Structure 1
């Protein structure tokens, strides 16, 4: 068993290109850490630094008590699953899975037993004699996973392994991955730009932007308490409503609404308000004094089947609010009132973007 630790890890290609900027984090045994962020945020470079495929400009990579900076990639005992699967086309499935064991001169009988065990676990035993060209995308993905699992590595590294699968297959394999790695009791580092994968698979999520960790927390806290405006807008589908409002006294102005500000040492001129679409509902007959009512005209509705996403232009302003409305609620497109609990409001500094 081992803990993966990154200390002040930095990668600089040129003075202007620094994809990883002094990142420090720890992944314990059995933890599933997802590196989440948009393209170019540094997540794949960070994974390559862990694997040893890139050398850090500064900082260190540790597994347990061992500093791996001078250890070659092949000697780090890490298993990596690539987006492209990277299977050998001329080899059978069994040979693809067992390649790493043969290179380590594991006895043939043990190789056969370990390949059979992992193939049974991934339900690909019937494919062991076939070659990659005769497999579907989902089957190739399972073979790539089997090749990683059979090694019994110290750390698992997965680089967007589901991105080449169609939507239905991605959902199926995602569920299988969660069950599979829960039983491994090894550190797992998973790279994706798909927030659904991050939220459903992870025990921790590191949200990255411009080579920096914006927030490192369990998925539930990433969703309920985003550290800044970027995290708030990036995590959640549909995207969180983010509005820049004027402050007057101890209230923020949204159209004709006056919204009490949170306790602040100094009231700013502008403040950013975040409201998740799913936190809004159509106003009922009664409204609590702990709820905010927002009225306006619905100019767009999008039917998602189980709910409808409505876009409302706030009365008295040009601001737009989007709300997810369940099928048992109806609205008047000419004028609808939406209600949201004050406890569901998120406040951010308009200059820094930090959570207030």
Structure 2
């Protein structure tokens, strides 16, 4: 049992390409950390540095009391599951799972015991004599997971392991992963660009963009209190409404309407206002903070409808999620904007302004 520490990791390639810039993160035993971000944000490079496949330009990788930074990957007790599965096509499932154990010259009886145990846990015991070409995508993914689990590593690394699966199978394997790693009590570092995977699997999420760590927090905090405009826009589907508004007399100007600003040290001239579509709803009689607008697009999502509303007196649009059976008398509607669900960001830095 050991804590994984990443201390100011930086990676620079030729031509001044720097995919990872001074990232520091700790992952405790039993924690599931997801590195979340768009393509090119540095998350896979960071994972490869933990594995030892890439050497950091600066910084340290520490596991417990041991500095792993200059230790080759073969001598780190770390298991990695790749996006492509990386199974040997000429070997059976049993041989693929046991490869690392045979290389370490583990006793044959112990190998058989571990392979049987992990294959039973993952529901692939009946596939042990097959080869990868005879397996479905979901079965191959389970074999790759079994190969990692059988080693009993100190740390698990997973690089977008569900991206090659169809939507239904991805949901099933995601649930299996959550249960599986909850029982392992080892640090897990998982790379994905899929926010649903990050929110459902993680105990902590590290949001990355342009090589920098944008926010490190629980899924709930990432969602409810995004640290900056990038996190607010990246996490959540449909995407958060983010509007750049002028400010007058302590209020933000949204078309014909005024929204009171939070308590700030210095009221800005321009501000970014954010509110999630699920927090915007059609006005009820008791509601105070409302805006009027015209519905110009309705998207039926099955369990709900997504309305796009152009606010009166402006070219700004707010999107709102309403129940599938909700109706309105005309294309003009009144929207309620709950004050507790409002987010405010600095226009230049993108940083969050309201801390409550």
Interval containing the TM-score (normalised by the shorter chain): over 0.9
3-state DSSP class of the match of 2:309?
A: strand
Counterpart Cα distance in 2 of 1:270 and 1:186:
46
Which residue in 2 is equivalent to 1:59? 59
Partner of 1:48, secondary structure, is helix
The DSSP-based 3-state class of the residue aligned with 2:14 is coil
Of 316, 326, 349 in structure 2, the residue corresponding to residue 352 of structure 1 is: 349
SS at match of 1:213: strand
Once the 2 structures are TM-superposed, how far is the Cα of residue 302 of structure 1 from its aligned partner? 0.6
TM-score where L is the length of structure 2: 0.98
**What does residue 79 of structure 2 align with?**
79
Does residue 306 of structure 1 match 2:338?
A: no
Mapped contact 1:294–1:339 kept (Cα < 8 A): yes
Q: What is the RMSD of the two structures over their aligned residues, measured on CA atoms?
A: 0.8
Q: 1:294 aligns with which of 291, 295, 299?
A: 291
CA contact (8 A) 2:32 2:201 kept: yes
C-alpha separation in 2, matches of 1:54 and 1:158: 16
For 2:58 and 2:106, how far apart are their aligned partners in 1?
36
Question: Alignment partner of 2:111: what SS?
Answer: helix
Match of 1:103 in 2: 103
Paired with 1:326 and 1:42, the residues of 2 have a C-alpha distance of 39
Partner of 1:86: helix, strand, or coil?
A: coil
Instruction: Give the alignment of 1:3-82 within 5 angstroms.
Output: 3-14=3-14, 16-82=16-82
Runs (4+) of structure 1 moved beyond 6 Å? none
Alpha-carbon offset, residue 264 of structure 1: 1.1
Name the structure 1 match of 2:340: 343
Q: Work out the CA distance in 2 between the residues paired with 1:211 and 1:169.
A: 31
Structure 1 residue 340 displacement after superposition: 2.2
SS of 2:196's equivalent?
helix
Q: Distance in 1 between matches of 2:282 and 2:291?
A: 10
- In 1, Cα distance between equivalents of 2:328 and 2:39: 38
Q: Structure 1 CA distance, aligned partners of 2:219 and 2:243?
A: 24
Deviation at 1:265, TM superposition (A): 1.2
Q: 1:99-135 deviations in whole A, cap 9, x for unaligned?
A: 0000011100000000000000000000000000010
Deviations 1:281-338 (A, max 9, x none): 1112321x4xx21211111011010000110000110001111111242234520111
**1:89 is aligned to 2:86:** no
Which runs of 5 or more residues in structure 1 are unaligned? none
**For the structure 1 residues 129 and 239, does the alpha-carbon distance in structure 2 shift closer, same or farther, using more than 3 Å as the test?**
same
Contact 2:35/2:208, CA 8 A, preserved across alignment: yes
| Residues 153-182 of structure 1: CA deviation (Å, up to 9, x unaligned) | 000000000000001100110010000000
1:203 aligns with 2:200: no
Rounded Cα–Cα distance in structure 2 between residues aligned with 1:326 and 1:205: 30
Rounded to whole Å, the distance in 2 between the matches of 1:176 and 1:165 is: 14
Count residues with an aligned counterpart.
353
SS class of match (2:337): strand
Equivalent position SS for 2:96:
helix
Cross-structure match for 1:115 = 115
Contact 1:282 1:329 in 2 (8 A): no
Name the CA distance, whole Å, in 2 between partners of 1:218 and 1:333: 41
Q: Output the TM-score relative to the length of structure 1.
A: 0.98
Distance in structure 2 (CA, Å) of the matches to 1:173 and 1:267 = 49
Asked whether the equivalents of residues 311 and 322 of structure 1 are also in contact (C-alpha less than 8 Å), the reply is yes
In structure 1, what is the equivalent of residue 271 of structure 2? 271
Asked if structure 2 preserves the Cα contact closer than 8 Å seen for 1:299 and 1:333, the reply is: no
